[in-house]
Amino acid sequence: MRIIISPAKKMNVDTDTLAPEGMPVFMEQTGQLLKWMRDLSYEEAKALWKCNDKIADQNYRRFQEMDLTKNLTPAVITYEGIQYQYMAPAVFGGKEAEYVQEHLRILSGFYGVLKPFDGVVPYRLEMQAKASDAGDLYRFWEDRIYREVTDKDHFILNLASKEYSRCVEKYLQPEDVFLTCVFGELADGRVKQKGTFAKMARGEMVRFLAERQAEDPEQIKEFDRLDYHYSEEYSDEKELVFLRKPQK
């Protein structure tokens, strides 16, 4: 089983909490993207990021000064989004850390695919960014990401956003099983996801599976955190739906 998740926009440098274990698999391609980013003018980069001046200044400087081999932070520690906060990787025990290193893969517009403890540097480059010389990043990465995250079991648990899961889903083969977790609430008989709660649940799901050392897909259905419970009624062969009562 492989579990795929999205990165987060906000990143930090932490060279003290945990040591990196290895380097990302697609360093050659990342180097190509770094060169492309460095060749952009400040105005072009800001337009690509669609952000304010403060964020643009920080990230433009990052790319100009970037060294892909120094001051590295484990990928699962560097991302600061809600999903990662609820995963709480900094307090993983030994068996949990080993589990995520084997099963979890972080999808990235800049690095392609990351194991949790690959050493990385902060960057800003979303998968949907338009790369003028390559069309866009989906075309740049082609099927590399799919091939890297597919293991011998051909079972992929999707906890990624559509922006990132598209990199895998587009290339699925008949032997692959691709299951997406949906964390929602019932409203007028329909399942609706709320972004923040879904991100929280995705992080909790990774921790839940790691603590149980889950190998059987049926164990996913036992998830019961943040008041979510598996709904057989609303699930099907492509989606595992977890519902919680709407909060008043």
Chunked in runs of 10, what are the mean pLDDT values of the chain (248 residues)? 96 89 97 94 91 93 96 95 94 94 97 98 90 75 96 94 96 97 92 92 97 95 96 95 81
Instruction: Report pLDDT for 61.
Output: 95
Domain coverage including residue 52? 2-243
Residue 147: φ, ψ to 5°: -65, -35
Count of C-beta atoms within a 10 Å radius of residue 3? 26
**What confidence score (pLDDT) does residue 220 get?**
97
In a 10 Å sphere around its CB, with 0-12 CB exposed, 13-18 middle and 19+ buried, how is residue 190 labelled?
A: exposed
> Domains in the chain: how many in total?
1
Please give the structure tokens belonging to residue 57. Answer: 């200044």
Is 62 inside any structural domain? yes
Task: Give the pLDDT of residue 247.
Answer: 64
Q: How far apart are alpha carbons 80 and 17 in whole angstroms? A: 14
- Asked if residue 127 belongs to a domain, the reply is yes
248 within a domain of the structure (yes/no): no
pLDDT at 90: 87
Query: Residue 192: its pLDDT value, please?
Result: 92
pLDDT, residue 234, reads 95
Assess if residue 121 is contained within a domain: yes
Q: What's the distance, Cα to Cα, between the start and end of the chain in Å?
A: 37
